[in-house]
Amino acid sequence: MISRYFKEYKWSNIAAMIRNNGRDPRVCTRDFKDKLVVISGATSGIGYHTARKFASHGARLLCINRNEKKSAALKTEIEKEFGVGCEYIIADLSNLKDIYSAAEKLGKIDSPIDVLIHNAGIYLTKRELTSEGFDKMFVVHHLASFVINNLLGEKLKSWKKARIILVNSEGHRFAPWGLQLDDLNWDKRRYSGLKSYGSAKLAQLLSMLLFAEYFKPWGVTINALHPGAVRSESGQENGPVYRWLKKHLYDKFLRPAEISAEAIYYLGVSDEIEGVTGKFFNLTTGEQPAPPALDKEAAYELWVKSVEMTGVKDIIS
C-alpha cells in the first residue's frame, strides 16, 4: 500500500499546506436573505459561529443537533438577535437510525435547501463502537454525510444550485497510505485516535469525488474544507487529562472559530465558487489533498462498503 502512493507525494504540496495554514479566509459580503441553510452540529464551536454568520446575512436555519436544550437556546438566540427562522432536528449522528430519521425529515421539506453543511464531528482518543458495531468516528465523519447525501440525492437535483459543504480537515493526512478497506472498524489493528480520525476524514473526501460527478449535471456542487486550526469543543467525550490539556495547552495556540465561519460562508455564498465542485480548500484557498484522497478506485471500493454498512439506496449504481 505504501508504494501505491509514495511517488505521488510532493514537497511542494506540503509546503503549500503549511503556508495556507497561516492565511486568513476570503470574505464574502453578499447577503443570503430568506435562503435555507441546513447545518449539523450547530450548538457549539465552528457550527455555532457558522449558524450565526449565515443568520446575520438573513438566511433561515435548520440545524441538526444532539442536544434538545442547547438547540432550543440557539433557536431563541438566533431568532431574537437576527429576526430569522431557526428550526432544529434532534439526532445523534453516530446512530444510523437517527441519521436516517434526520434525512427523512429533510426530504419532507418543501423549501429548497440552498446550502447543506456537514459540520458535526468528534475526536476520540480511545476506540468506541456504535450500537451497530461501527467505529464511531467513521460513522460521524463519513457515514452520516454519506447517508444523508444519498437519501437527499433526487431532491437536491430537483432543487438545483444547492451547495454541499463538508467540514473536513488537514487531518485526512493522518492516513498517508490510504484506507484499510478490510478493517474500517479497527478490529485487526491497534487503535489510534489520530489514525482513525484521519481515515474517517479521508473516507469523506473519497466519497466527495463520486458525489461531485453524480450531482454535477444538475448544478449541485459539493466541496470540502479544512476549517483552520481553531478552538472548538471537540474532544469533550475524552477523559479529564485530555480535556485539561486541550483547554490549558492546545487551545492557547489555536485561532478563534469565527474564521472557520467566514470561510464556510464564502464557500456557501460567493459567486466566485459558483460551479466549483469536488475540491478541497484550506479555509478558502484551493489545495491539493493527500494522494489517497484522489484515488478513484479506492473511492468506488469505499462506496460499495459504505452502502453495505448502512443499507442506504445507492444513487450512483
Mean pLDDT throughout 110-130?
Answer: 95
Residue 282's φ and ψ, nearest 5 degrees, are: -95, 105
- pLDDT, tens digit (0-9, with 9 covering 90-100), for 153-197: 999 998 878 999 999 999 999 999 999 999 999 999 999 999 999
Topology given in CATH for the domain delimited by 2-304: Rossmann fold (3.40.50)
The average pLDDT across 46-60 equals 98
Cβ 235 vs Cβ 48: under 8 Å = no
Residues 96 and 310: their CA atoms lie apart, in Å, by 7
Average pLDDT over residues 252-261: 77
- pLDDT band at 235; cut points 50, 70, 90: very low
- Which residues have CB under 8 Å from 108's CB, separation 6+? none
What pLDDT, on a 0 to 100 scale, did the predictor assign at position 241?
37
Domain residue spans in the chain?
Answer: 2-304
Can you tell me the distance from the alpha carbon of 87 to that of 76, in angstroms, rounded to the nearest whole number?
Answer: 10
Banded model confidence at residue 255, pLDDT cuts 50, 70, 90 = confident
Average pLDDT, rounded, for the chain: 91
282 is written with which cell numbers? 484550506
Q: How far apart are CA 247 and CA 286, in angstroms?
A: 31
Give the chain's length.
Answer: 317
What is the C-alpha separation between 299 and 292, in angstroms, rounded?
9
Say which residue the cell 464551536 belongs to.
45
Q: What is the pLDDT of residue 14?
A: 85
pLDDT at 251: 47
What pLDDT was estimated at residue 184? 97
Q: Which of 12-16, 94-98, 126-130 has the lowest mean pLDDT?
A: 12-16
What number is the average pLDDT over the span 8-37? Answer: 92
pLDDT on residue 234: 52
Give the span between the Cα atoms of 146 and 118, in whole angstroms.
10
Instruction: Work out the pLDDT band at 233, boundaries 50, 70, 90.
Output: low
Among residues 183, 262, 194, 255, the alpha carbon closest in space to that of 225 is found at: 262
Smallest CA-to-CA distance from 85 within 62, 106, 64, 104 is with 62
The yes-or-no verdict on residue 253 having pLDDT over 90 is: no
Instruction: Using the predicted structure, report yes or no on whether residue 240 has a pLDDT greater than 80.
Output: no
